[in-house]
Structure 1
Amino acid sequence: MEKTDTSNLPPLPDVQAWRAEQGLIGLDWVGMQGIALPLELAGRPLAAQIDASINLRGSQDGARGIHMSRLYAALDGLTQGELTPQRIATTLREFLHSQPAHSDRARLSINGELLLSRPALVSAQRGWKSYPLCIEAQLATAPRLTLKVGVPYSSTCPSSAALSRQAAQQQFLVDFDLESTSLDRQRVAEWLGVHGMPATPHSQRSWAWVTVELSCDEPILPVVELIERIEHALGTPVQTLVKRLDEQAFALANGHNLMFCEDAVRRLYGALRASCRYRACQVMVEHQESLHAHNAVAQLSWQEDDDVA
């Protein structure tokens, strides 16, 4: 394709910079949503969706709009290596430097799902697990940064477990009503293998959504550390590839780890409140009920230096 000589042509019109009819009216935010970018996080590829915006100040000679292409061009810096708080803060500053006459606030939202290889509970198996995340950053007088992750886990209802145990007790008494008080261990073991679970407690896949505020001076985004802290606190993260011994271990973990949504959110509070690296934290758990057609939820949050959550 032949190139056209533009050296003698007049400059292209810059309509965004023309004076707006209502230029006194500033805009809180203006920008773009859903920009696809290939990022790297925790040494893994992250197919991200980016929202980028700045404010537009109102003035007597206020511009009609912003140059969105300048924001898009600045986003390329996020793709040049591991995604870090410093890289994000630099991108926000470039947003403002690209249009200094009109803006003094910038924000950025990064959404994606991080795939991590996770080991089975007992066997040597491994599998890939997806963790949704959202990184939000704003820059006004100083940058602010939050990291939100979602962690799926299993929760077994304590009430349902107690009712199931009672049903097993009652069935045992019925089946051995006429027996002597001294029972043969083998007979009891055989009974347990066939009739020992007349009722089973209900469990459900559940989600923990944790949002922490970080310092932009952090060398890395502690996403893997945060996920592992959440999974350790809850005790029953969902599994990937399992063998029967892994499935049995998972059943045992659930049986020894009964929790309502209130219990789960308090566990996470205790585990995360003890960390000194988070300026603030919000925890929300969602138990997607198998008994009810609705979900059970609980939420807890705190700010740095708060005495009460």
Structure 2
Amino acid sequence: MRDVQNETDNRNMAIDRVGIRDISWPISVPDRTNGTQETVAQVSLSVSLPQDYRGTHMSRFVEVLGAQEKRVTFHNMEGLLVTLKERLKARDAHAVFDFPYFITKAAPVSGAKGRLRCDVRFDAALRGDDFDLVTTVTSPIQTLCPCSKEISQFGAHNQRAHAVMEVRLAGFVWLEEFVQMADDCASAPIYSLLKREDEKYVTERAYENPRFVEDSVRELALAMQADERVVWYRVSVTSHESIHNHDAFAVIERDKRTGSIPSRENLPCSPRRTEEG
């Protein structure tokens, strides 16, 4: 049978990435409370293609994925890419796993338990022999505007926000730890189940702990800076404003291997705003 993919291509144009995208695949990830958690990832796999090859073998991507253990962790992503390179005779390989992860959170007063979703991405690349993995966790939080509180006789606008934590790691970190970092940087955490006494507590906690996105992202960066397992990070906080026709966001990126950020003592406070929001 004719092997069209292996035919020589004469256009002298290498391809950076070629592969499959958005295949749903069951995986199992580490769960701090229960050991493992079953979820479904949207997976993209790709390799580089030399200029003299017409095409790659798409079926082999699915074969490699199916041959892997279901458990996807910080530790075995490199093995997946090594296998991809070998099976497809490629120089470089790349994999992305996007999946929901659920954490059980107890309401602060009643203790009522509910499942809170965060979104996780493993973005792994093997370029030659150099392996790189960026883990991204997106977690919902709440912010309350300090300016709104300052200028109002009562009340202040508050809203749901999202903290996004992109990291390169030198050691294992539980996904639950990232969610806790996000909660700690916020005016108040988000819960999926709240009784009346819990709503009172969360509302009052946010009011007593107002934070701009600038405040939250700085707190999140300081948490990353203090964690020796994190060697590079990009953190952002986006506030889905409740009284404005826009979102507000702030981003900090640092490579701890080559640079630094100011210590907490030297970090300037967020400027007080003199106009609305």
TM bucket, shorter chain:
0.7 to 0.9
The answer for unaligned runs of 5 or more in structure 1 is: 1-11, 168-198
Alignment equivalent of 2:64, drawn from 53, 57, 74: 74
Q: Which position in structure 1 is the counterpart of 2:8?
A: 19
Aligned residue type for 2:40? A
Answer yes or no: is the 8 Å Cα contact 1:27–1:56 preserved in 2: yes
Alignment equivalent of 2:26, drawn from 33, 38, 41: 38
- Residues 1:88 and 2:41 aligned together: no
Answer yes or no: is the 8 Å Cα contact 2:173–2:229 preserved in 1: no
Q: Which position in structure 2 is the counterpart of 1:213?
A: 168
Alpha-carbon separation, structure 1, partners of 2:57 and 2:173: 30
Alignment equivalent of 2:189, drawn from 237, 251, 254: 237
CA positional deviation for 1:81? 4.0
Answer yes or no: is the 8 Å Cα contact 1:83–1:221 preserved in 2: no
Instruction: State the Cα deviation string for residues 234-267 of structure 1 (Å, max 9, x = none).
Output: 3512111111111111012101210011101111
Alpha-carbon separation, structure 1, partners of 2:67 and 2:251: 36
* TM-score when normalising by structure 2: 0.88
Which secondary structure state, in structure 2, belongs to the residue aligned with residue 290 of structure 1? coil
Answer yes or no: is the 8 Å Cα contact 2:92–2:125 preserved in 1: yes
Which secondary structure state, in structure 1, belongs to the residue aligned with residue 189 of structure 2? coil
Instruction: State the Cα deviation string for residues 271-306 of structure 1 (Å, max 9, x = none).
Output: 111000011000111111112101111110100231
CA positional deviation for 1:221? 5.6
Alignment equivalent of 1:258, drawn from 196, 207, 210: 210
Instruction: State the Cα deviation string for residues 91-113 of structure 1 (Å, max 9, x = none).
Output: 1000110122xx20000011111
The 1:296/1:30 distance shift into structure 2, 3 A limit, reads same
Aligned residue type for 2:162? W
CA positional deviation for 1:206? 0.6
Answer yes or no: is the 8 Å Cα contact 1:74–1:94 preserved in 2: yes
Q: Which position in structure 2 is the counterpart of 1:65?
A: 55
- Residues 1:131 and 2:118 aligned together: yes
Aligned residue type for 2:159? Q
Q: RMSD value over aligned CA atoms?
A: 1.5
Q: Which position in structure 1 is the counterpart of 2:45?
A: 52
Residues 113-124 of structure 1 aligned to structure 2 (within 5 Å): 113-124=100-111
Higher share of residues assigned helix:
1
* Structure 1 residue runs of 4 or more that deviate by more than 3 Å after TM superposition: none
* TM-score when normalising by structure 1: 0.79
Q: Kindly name which structure, 1 or 2, has the bigger radius of gyration based on alpha carbons.
A: 1
Alpha-carbon separation, structure 2, partners of 1:70 and 1:293: 47
Alpha-carbon separation, structure 2, partners of 1:233 and 1:207: 11
Alpha-carbon separation, structure 2, partners of 1:242 and 1:308: 37
The answer for unaligned runs of 5 or more in structure 2 is: 31-35, 263-277
Answer yes or no: is the 8 Å Cα contact 2:156–2:207 preserved in 1: no
Answer yes or no: is the 8 Å Cα contact 2:141–2:182 preserved in 1: no
Which secondary structure state, in structure 2, belongs to the residue aligned with residue 266 of structure 1? helix
Which secondary structure state, in structure 1, belongs to the residue aligned with residue 56 of structure 2? coil
Which secondary structure state, in structure 2, belongs to the residue aligned with residue 16 of structure 1? coil
Residues 182-221 of structure 1 aligned to structure 2 (within 5 Å): 199-215=154-170, 218=171, 220=172
Which secondary structure state, in structure 2, belongs to the residue aligned with residue 279 of structure 1? strand
Q: Which position in structure 1 is the counterpart of 2:229?
A: 277
Alignment equivalent of 1:162, drawn from 145, 150, 159: 150
